[in-house]
Amino acid sequence: MPYRVFDHTADLGVEVSAATLEELYAAAAFALFDLLTDLSRVRAGIAREIVVTGEDPADLLVNFLREILYMWNGGGFLIKTCLVQEAAPQRLKTLLRGETFDSGRHRMKQEIKAVTYHQASVCETAKGVVAKVVFDV
């Protein structure tokens, strides 16, 4: 798994690791939706492109995750895959594939209400990039 869950009082902390920033954002999207639902039951039939901006990589990560969480909370769209088309320090462009929630096929694991700035970070390491983010559950 490209992520691990860490203990956080009353919330859900996630640490994501990847070789590059592009892989990091895709892994973060995977982590969010893997925590929400059983991704093996989600089809990648509908494509949606989104562009997100931020002041720095951590702000960009939070804004990106907020945007895709809103796709679920506001429109019932489940994301199966995320292809990062552009990852600049203050701009992210992605192609998301998934489908609308179907209660006959999809099972929700847990509710995630929001993505927070608490402990949000993106750091380069000798092995790649590591990010931390906390979800309000």
Residue 125: exposure state from Cβ atoms within 10 A (0-12, 13-18, ≥19): exposed
How far is Cα 78 from Cα 91, in angstroms, rounded to an integer?
A: 23
Give residue 8's pLDDT: 76
Query: For the domain that residue 78 is a member of, what is the CATH number?
Result: 3.55.10.10
This prediction has a pTM of: 0.95
Helices and strands (H, E) in the chain, number of each type: 2, 7
The residues that bridge with 114 in the sheet, in sequence order, are 136
Q: What is the mean pLDDT of the chain?
A: 96
Domain with 76, as residue range(s), is 3-136
Q: What is the pLDDT of residues 7-44, one digit of tens each?
A: 777 799 999 999 999 999 999 999 999 999 999 999 99
Q: What is the pLDDT of residues 93-129, one digit of tens each?
A: 999 999 999 999 999 999 999 999 999 999 999 999 9
How many domains does the structure of the chain reveal?
A: 1
How far is Cα 110 from Cα 37, in angstroms, rounded to an integer?
A: 7
